[in-house]
Structure 1
Amino acid sequence: MLTTQRRAMISARLARDGQLVAKAIADELGLSEDTIRRDLREMAAEGLLKRVHGGALPLTPPLPDFASRQTIASQVKRRLGRRAAELVKPAQIVFIDGGTTNAELARALPHDLRATIVTHSPTIAAELEHHVAEVVLLGGRLYKHSMVATGAATVAAIEQIRADIFFLGVTAIHPAHGLSTGDYEEAAIKRAIARQATETYVLATPEKFGAASPHRVLGVSELAGLVVPSEMPAEALSPYRSDTASLIMA
């Protein structure tokens, strides 16, 4: 098989399965694993895929800036936000991560809800200006792409809070590689918040499924649930069903 044919097959398999195991495809093609690994290495260098231990994952497309993301799939995000808001109970301590989908959650919270909302995102805090809820805004170095605080000061503040529920924002969701995001330091902040929360939920728009970003946050099984659009096909969601994480339709 020619190199171009192998590469085309690798690309097609990644698009179909969302991952590729080097040994499996080498056995299937009757080739050495070194040959497939060389193909993956060269394709990764050309920006065609992401290499991981034992194989490859499709690349997550670069996200546009925060302002541009506010206009993407806005109706779906609004539905997810409204459904997630129903999970919040009075008197809870609620940690809301940054992101445009979580901004819809903040907007959907009842204005008379008596709870404590903690966030490290100034844009999330601003959405709650006219709410009765107490708002705690954590500081740190501003990561402008996601409009969230990061750094040692943020981690220190997070460690002083125990949240009943955490709404985590991620850029990719994969059944084997879990929930991930594009920035190393931001991923560490998200893990720190999850450690302090009794339950963690993700509001998941369709384009995030089957993808992997460079920095892992959590495994899917570590979630209390995924809030997903009701129109997503059952077969697309089946890899994410587990004994611990529930699928909540919006």
Structure 2
Amino acid sequence: MLTAERRQFILEILRRDKKVLSSELSAVLKVSEDTIRRDLRELAETGLLQRVHGGALLSSPATASYADRIQQAPIEKEAIARAAAKLVLPGQVVILDGGTTTLQVARHLPIDLQATVITNSPPIAVALAEHPHIEVVMLGGQLYKKALVNIGAATVEALRMIRADLCMLGVCSLHPEVGISVTNLNEAHVKQAMIKSAAEVVGLVTAAKLDTAAPYVVASIHALSYLVTAPVVPLEVLTSYKDLGLTIIREDIDSATIIDSEAPVYKSIID
């Protein structure tokens, strides 16, 4: 088998199984593990996968610019935003992380909601500027232009002074074993600080980001109180997350579906 054919086979197995192991690929393809590691390394350099110890996982899709990402999966993001906005209660202090999905959450907050929103995202601050009853607190720092969020030591230090009721976390990658991960180290530090500053954390995850990994780990799955995703995600994909104790929320136009009958906000309608 030619090198190109072997690497295409690896990618096909990865898309099917969501992960590959070097030892198994070596046995199936009848080449050394050194050859497989070289294949994985070169595929990782092109952004087609994320190497982990012993193999590889699907790579994060959140590598495009903010302008490009805002065009991706708009229907999914709107469904996620509708569901997530219902978790915000009157009078709460809420951290809204940056991202195109969290921007939709800001736009779906009720017009009569009285709350305080703390964000490191200039687009979110602008979106809430005309909201009559929401106080907006903008976190300073260095603007990370690719994601349009403020990051750095000043952002982290400001978050240490905050005790929020809820954090809406924009998730770059989510995997049952790896946890929450991102593509930028400084952004990882900010997200860690957001998690530590909130009583409950809501992970907002489109289908393409589930079962993927990025270079910098933010926290384990257990840092999340809720996982809000889109109705296009099959239930079997969510099983491993439910088994880890997450309250999983999905919503379509007409109804909400939740996988956890003990959740306080929604009534379960799963058969």
TM-score by length of structure 2 reads: 0.84
Counterpart residue number, 1:13 = 13
Q: Measure how far apart 1:174 and its partner are.
A: 1.9
Would you say the 8 A contact 2:62–2:172 is kept in 1? no
Change (3 A) 1:68 1:9: closer
Aligned equivalents of 1:55, 1:227: Cα separation in 2: 28
Tell me which amino acid in the other structure corresponds to 1:181.
V
Counterpart residue number, 1:195 = 196
Tell me the percent identity. 45
Tell me which amino acid in the other structure corresponds to 2:250.
M
Q: Deviations over 1:217-249 (max 9, x none)?
A: 222232111111123211222222234311101
Gaps in structure 1 of 5+ consecutive residues: none
SS in 1 for 2:180: strand
Counterpart residue number, 1:155 = 156
Would you say the 8 A contact 2:61–2:209 is kept in 1? no
Q: Deviations over 1:125-173 (max 9, x none)?
A: 1111122021111111111111111111111100000111101112222
Counterpart residue number, 2:146 = 145
Aligned equivalents of 2:237, 2:37: Cα separation in 1: 28
Aligned equivalents of 1:147, 1:204: Cα separation in 2: 18
SS in 2 for 1:58: strand
Is residue 83 of structure 2 the alignment partner of residue 83 of structure 1? Answer: yes
Q: Measure how far apart 1:5 and its partner are.
A: 5.0
1:151-230 pair list within 5 angstroms: 151-230=152-231
Change (3 A) 1:136 1:44: closer
Aligned equivalents of 2:137, 2:90: Cα separation in 1: 16
Tell me which amino acid in the other structure corresponds to 2:142.
R
Aligned equivalents of 2:46, 2:126: Cα separation in 1: 41
| Structure 1 runs, 4 residues or longer, greater than 4 Å off | 1-5, 27-32, 45-48
Aligned equivalents of 1:40, 1:110: Cα separation in 2: 47
Tell me which amino acid in the other structure corresponds to 2:195.
A
Q: Deviations over 1:75-98 (max 9, x none)?
A: 221121111010011121100001
Is residue 101 of structure 2 the alignment partner of residue 98 of structure 1? Answer: no
SS in 2 for 1:104: helix
Mean Cα deviation higher: 174-183 or 151-160: 174-183
Aligned equivalents of 2:14, 2:207: Cα separation in 1: 17
Q: Deviations over 1:97-147 (max 9, x none)?
A: 011111111111112212111111111111111220211111111111111
Tell me which amino acid in the other structure corresponds to 2:183.
G
Would you say the 8 A contact 1:19–1:57 is kept in 2? yes
Aligned equivalents of 2:38, 2:179: Cα separation in 1: 26
Q: Measure how far apart 1:39 and its partner are.
A: 3.1
Aligned equivalents of 1:134, 1:230: Cα separation in 2: 32
Change (3 A) 1:230 1:59: closer
Mean Cα deviation higher: 121-130 or 170-179: 170-179
Tell me which amino acid in the other structure corresponds to 1:104.
Q
Counterpart residue number, 1:126 = 126
Change (3 A) 1:214 1:51: same
Mean Cα deviation higher: 215-224 or 164-173: 215-224
Aligned equivalents of 2:95, 2:45: Cα separation in 1: 38
Would you say the 8 A contact 1:111–1:130 is kept in 2? no
Aligned equivalents of 1:193, 1:59: Cα separation in 2: 24
CA RMSD of superposed structures (Å) = 2.1
Mean Cα deviation higher: 72-81 or 4-13: 4-13
Aligned equivalents of 2:40, 2:188: Cα separation in 1: 26
Q: Measure how far apart 1:46 and its partner are.
A: 5.3
SS in 1 for 2:202: strand
Aligned equivalents of 1:43, 1:228: Cα separation in 2: 28
TM-score by length of structure 1 reads: 0.90
Aligned residues: 250
Mean Cα deviation higher: 46-55 or 102-111: 46-55
Counterpart residue number, 2:246 = 245
Aligned equivalents of 2:50, 2:244: Cα separation in 1: 29
